[in-house]
Amino acid sequence: MASSSLLVVVAAISQLLTLTLLVSRCSTKVPAIIVFGDSSVDAGNNNAISTALKSNFEPYGRDFFDRRPTGRFSNGRIPPDFISEAFGLRPFVPAYLDPAFNISDFASGVCFASAGTGYDNVTSNVLLLQNVIPMWKELEYYRDYQQKLRASLGDKKANSIISEALYIVSLGTNDFLENYYSSFPIPGSNSGCRRAQFPQPGQFEDFLVSLAEGFIRDLYELGAQKVSFTGMPPMGCLPLERTTNFMGQHDCVEEFNAVARDFNGKLGAMVDRMNQELPGLRMVFSNPYDKFYEIVSRPSDYGFDVASVACCGTGMYEMGYLCNKQNPFTCTDASKYVFWDSFHPTERTNGILADSLIKSVLLPNFA
């Protein structure tokens, strides 16, 4: 009895020591997490703009803190939230346009991402998604943020946050699935669509890489140095794409996965090139593809029951307004599902993906 309780105490103390070590190791170097991109990382900016692409209603967010639907496209947290926590910061990153937060809150983390956006200006205007925030506008908000940060904390403190923060950039799926492959017409032009302009997907990839590179240059000009540039997921395995893959018996659409892999190769090369060229830049390529594909291919290895359809609704088509609380088919335990809606992972999947990037790339490079 006495010796076993001693053991418990020893275990508790050693656990406490480990925790203290972890916290002191992780809490110093990155003062803030600053996020750009699409719904893979949007914490709720679309709530504040006029678009049909929102998720600030139940059952979205039902496993978030206070069961709050925040505008995150998941049942709970998304990858930047886990990353922020791993660096000893808040366990979530608030959206810049969320009126519940102010510049004091944003000093340790802020999200400018907008669901539905893409590298290509055309993507943010796609009919269904209409008028989400294009990437140039995310940068405008970021400039506005810098001004407020300087006004609030003074130049010295603000500049140190700006240069030491970890910047997360995550987007690309919409450029392919909503714009290129749906042959969406380019607004105000007679020349048709991107697919007519770039008949080979590889040509469109090159176009997007040039836009990604331009974005990184702008961000660097504004003072960013530590960047986690996120690769593409296996987008052919999203439930919506599987549902409509009638010829392929609802397997993953290999054509889309091949494009994602090819594009990832080019993005990785862009990251290397920028690191060579821009002094002081420390950009890493955070590629979720392999881990994500492994989870979808062998869900039971990760404790999931279902990977081919999503938790919300029938799991085949629903996202945004179609995934709502009137829908009677929504699953009860989202942690058994890889996907929450037909386009977005569950909190549990987000956690596994984030954790793998945190351990393999982010903490080793930036903590």
Ligand X SMILES: *[C@@H]1O[C@H](CO)[C@@H](O)[C@H](O)[C@H]1NC(C)=O
Catalytic residues: 39, 341, 344
Please state the φ and ψ torsions of residue 266, each to the nearest 5 degrees. Answer: -70, -35
Report how many residues bind ligand X under the rule CB under 6 A: 7
Q: 202 to 241, contacts with ligand X by CB under 6 A?
A: 211
Among the residue ranges 100-108, 163-171, 186-194, 342-350, the one whose residues contact ligand X (CB under 6 A): 100-108
Q: State in angstroms the smallest separation of the CB of 119 from ligand X.
A: 9
152 makes contact with ligand X (CB under 6 A): yes
Min dist. Cβ of residue 5 to ligand X (A): 43
Minimum CB separation of residue 57 from ligand X in Å reads: 24
Q: Which is nearer to ligand X, 28 or 102 (CB)?
A: 102
Q: Among residues 26 and 93, whose Cβ is nearest to ligand X?
A: 93
Stretch that binds ligand X, among 26-34, 98-106, 265-273, 289-297 (CB under 6 A): 98-106
Closest CB 152 distance from ligand X, rounded Å: 5
Q: What is the 3-state secondary structure (H, E, C) of the chain?
A: CHHHHHHHHHHHHHHHHHHHHHHHHHCCCCCCEEEEECCCCCCCHHHHCCCCCCCCCCCCCCCCHHHCCCCCCCCCCCHHHHHHHHCCCCCCCCECCCCCCCHHHHCCEEECCCCCCCCCCCHHHCCCCCCCCCHHHHHHHHHHHHHHHHHHHCHHHHHHHHHHCEEEEECCHHHHHHHHCCCCECCCCCCCEHHHHCCCHHHHHHHHHHHHHHHHHHHHHCCCCEEEEECCCCHHHCHHHHHCCCCCCCCCCHHHHHHHHHHHHHHHHHHHHHHHHCCCCEEEEECCHHHHHHHHHCHHHHCCCECCCCCCCCCCCCCHHHCCCCCCCCCCCHHHECEEECCEECHHHHHHHHHHHHHHHHHHHHC
- Of the candidate residues 14, 28, 104, 130, the single one contacting ligand X (CB under 6 A): 104
Distance of closest approach, residue 136 Cβ to ligand X, in angstroms = 4
Which one, 18 or 210, has the nearer CB to ligand X? 210
Enumerate residues 114-133 that contact ligand X by CB under 6 A.
121
Query: Angle, to 10 degrees, between the axis of helix 254-277 and the axis of helix 201-221?
Result: 40
Site string for ligand X, 289-318 (x = CB under 6 A): ------------------------------
Q: What is the smallest separation between the CB atom of 65 and ligand X, expressed in angstroms?
A: 16
Q: Which residues contact 48 (CB under 8 A, 6 or more apart)?
A: 95, 97, 98, 99
Q: Answer yes or no whether residue 322 interacts with ligand X by CB under 6 A.
A: no
Provide, rounded to whole angstroms, the least separation between the CB of residue 135 and ligand X: 8
Q: Is 197 in the site for ligand X (CB under 6 A)?
A: no
- Residue in 194, 174, 176 with CA at minimum distance from that of residue 184: 194
Peptide bond into 239 cis (omega under 30): no
**Can you tell me which of 102, 147, 183, 327 binds ligand X, judged by CB under 6 A?**
102
Q: What minimum distance in Å lies between the beta carbon of 186 and ligand X?
A: 10
Which of 136, 203, 297, 327: binder of ligand X (CB under 6 A)? Answer: 136
For residues 350 and 288, the answer to whether their CB atoms sit within 8 Å is no
Task: Report CA Rg, the chain.
Answer: 21
Residues that bind ligand X (CB under 6 A): 102-104, 121, 136, 152, 211
